[in-house]
Amino acid sequence: MSVLSGIAQSAAKFSNDIRLLSHLKEVDEPFESKQIGSSAMAYKRNPMRSERIGSLARYVMADAMNPAMTAAGQWFERTLDDSANRRISIPEAFLCIDGILSLLLNIVRGIRVYPAVMGKHLNEELPFMATENILMHCVKKGGDRQALHEAIREHSVATAKEIKLRGKDNDLLDRILADERFHLTREELDSILSVEQFIGRAKEQTEEFLYDIIRPILEENASLLGMDVSISV
C-alpha cells in the first residue's frame, strides 16, 4: 500500500502541474472531437483526465491509512480484524492505480504543448528575473551596488504598479536602459537576457535523467509500450 501510495503521490503532482499549465494555456490534455469541456460553459476545455487522476490519487493516499491503522491495532500476536479491511482496501487500491496509470499514458501520448505561449509568459517575467544579473554586470563595470540596487527597486515597483493597475506591458528593461546610472547598452542587455543564462544545467540534467534512468526502464518493458489505453471522458 505504501508503494501504491507513492505512485499516487507522484501522479497527483503530475496532474496538478498539468492543470496549472492548462490554466496558463501552455499545455492541453488530449481532447476528443465531441468531448464536452464543461456542462455549463461550452468554450471550456477542463483538464478532466488530470482532475480524475487527482481524485483517484487522493483515494489511494487515504486508503494507505488502512494497513497502518490495522497493523497498529493488532494485539499481542495478530487478530483477525484485518481480514475484511484487507479484502477491500488492497484490491481497490490496485484498481485505482490501474486507472491512474491508464490516464497518465493517455495524457502523455496526446498532450499538446504551446511554446509560443510559454515564450510570452517568459518575456513577461524575464525582466524582473534578469535584474540580479543586470546588477552584477553593472557592478563589475564599476557601478555602486547600493545605488544600482535602489534604482532597480524603484523601477521594479513602478513597473509592477503599471502592470497591475493599468494592464500595461512590462517596460522595466526600457526604464533601466534609459537610466544613466546603469551605463548599459542595448547589446550588453541583450547578452544578459540570453535565456541560457538562467537555466543552469537544467537541460543537461533532464537529458541525463532520460538517458541514464528512464531509457533502461523503457527498454526493459518494451513489450508493454504498445499497450492500448482507451479513456472515456
Quote the pLDDT of residue 37.
64
- Mean pLDDT per block of 10 residues along the chain (233 residues) reads 96 97 94 69 81 97 92 77 87 96 92 94 92 95 94 96 94 95 93 88 96 94 75 72
Distance CA 176, CA 156 (A): 9
Quote the pLDDT of residue 147.
95
Query: How many C-beta atoms surround the C-beta of residue 98 within 10 A?
Result: 11
Quote the pLDDT of residue 2.
94
DSSP type of residue 64? T
Distance CA 134, CA 148 (A): 9
Amino acid at the residue 227: M
Q: Which parts of the chain fold into alpha helices (H)? A: 2-23, 48-63, 65-72, 83-110, 115-129, 131-140, 145-166, 172-178, 186-192, 202-209, 215-220
| Domains, the chain, ordered by start | 2-113 (1.20.200.10), 117-197 (1.10.40.30)
Quote the pLDDT of residue 98.
95
Residue 46 exposure: Cα atoms within 13 Å on the Cβ side: 12
Distances (CA, A) of 188 to 27, 182, 191: 33, 11, 5
Quote the pLDDT of residue 33.
67
Distance CA 25, CA 118 (A): 8
- Give φ, ψ of 167 to 5 degrees: 70, 25
Helix, strand or coil, per DSSP, at residue 56? helix
CA dihedral angle for residue 73, residue 75, residue 76, residue 81, rounded to 10 degrees: -110
Quote the pLDDT of residue 210.
97
Nearest to 51 by CA among 22, 74, 24, 80: 22
Distance CA 164, CA 156 (A): 12
Q: What angle do CA 93, 210, 12 make, to 5 degrees?
A: 30
pTM of the model: 0.81
